Every structure is written in C-alpha cells, then in structure tokens.
Amino acid sequence: MIESRCAAALLERTSNPLKTRTSNVDLQERKPMSNSNAEKNKAIVLEAFDTLFNKRNYSAAERFWSPKYIQHSAHIEPGRDGLFNLIKAAPQSLKYEPGVILAEGDYVIVHGRFSNIGLPVNWIAADVVRLKDGILVEHWDVIQDEATKQQSKSGNPMFGDSFPK
C-alpha cells in the first residue's frame, strides 16, 4: 500500500514538475511573493548603486545605505563608511554597469561590471544585498577579473554581449 502511494506520487511529480511539493505547498497553487515588492527592491538597489558608484553623490547615497550597514566583502572596510571611503579613493573614471538583476524577499542580486577601477582589468561582480524597509542593510559579493577574448575558454564574454576593449 505504501509503495503504491509512493510510486503514484513519484509518477505525478515526474509527469508534472510544477506539482512538486515544497513545504506542503503546491507550486501551481502557491501565491508568489508580491512582484511589486521585488521590483521595488530592484529599483532601489539600481538607484543606490548609480547614485554612489556613477554619480558619486555621497549625501544622496546615505539615504539608501543604513548607518548600521553590514559589510561581508573581504576588500571593503566595515560599514557604510567603509564602502563610501572605498569609492572616494577610486579613480573618478570608475563606472558601474548593472546587468542581470534578481530579487526575492528582502534580497537582491545584481550581476555587474566595474570598469576604470584603477586596475589593469575590470571587475565582474555578483553583489548580494539585503534590504530592510527599502534600505540596504547588508552586502556580500563575488568578484572576478574580467577575461579578455583570448583568456576566455568558453569564447563568451563574462558580462554583456562583448568583450572589454
């Protein structure tokens, strides 16, 4: 009896992957988190990054970052001041370009390119940001040097649809 119920459940799941149950919730019936909240959080992060990295408007950027901002990046000093001081010390030619952006709940992930950073190569970063009440409160990142066409084993650019010049 148990074996037949398990077999039936497995058959149902493999024939209709959306019927897979997570926490006893049918994914076809589950109501997704508000798309408007995810879209709002993505817009906040994009505006915050543009305000700080591209416009370098530190007083305007303060409204996006919590004074108690938690920094997990290994190359940035703690807190909001650590991040702002890093940008203040970067070349004026620093440019940030956002790419793919995803949001779920209080988290936003942005795949982006930092160019003209004072190093021989650009950085490609996946920045993970946690927001609380529309304010950036925590940050993690994964950063790689951007590969040239000659360095890319896949033959594809790491960011966008073209290699750096």
Domains of the chain are 1-31 (no CATH), 35-145 (3.10.450.50)
Mean pLDDT in residue range 56-61: 98
Mean pLDDT in residue range 68-75: 94
Q: Average pLDDT of the chain?
A: 84
In sign, the C-alpha dihedral spanning 118, 88, 163, 143 is positive
Which backbone phi and psi does 150 adopt, to 5 degrees?
-70, -30
Please name the residue that has the structure tokens 């996946």: 126
Give the C-alpha separation, 134 to 69, whole Å.
Answer: 13
Instruction: For residue 151, give the nearest of 126, 122, 125 by alpha carbon.
Output: 122
Beta-bridge mates of residue 46:
none
| H or E element in which residue 155 lies | none
Mean pLDDT in residue range 61-82: 96
Query: What DSSP string describes 86-142?
Result: HHHHS-TT-EEEEEEEEEETTEEEEEEEEESSSSSS-EEEEEEEEEETTEEEEEEEE
Three-point CA angle 58, 129, 112, nearest 5°: 80
User: Where does the pLDDT of residue 116 fall: very low under 50, low under 70, confident under 90, or very high at 90 and above?
Assistant: very high
Contact in structure between 127 and 109 (CB atoms under 8 Å): yes
Q: What is the side-by-side order of every strand in the sheet holding 123-132? A: 65-71, 135-145, 123-132, 107-115, 95-104
User: Where does the pLDDT of residue 99 fall: very low under 50, low under 70, confident under 90, or very high at 90 and above?
Assistant: very high
pTM greater than the 0.85 cutoff:
no
pLDDT of 44-53, one tens digit each? 999 999 999 9
3-state secondary structure of 14: helix
pLDDT of 27-46, one tens digit each? 344 445 557 899 999 999 99
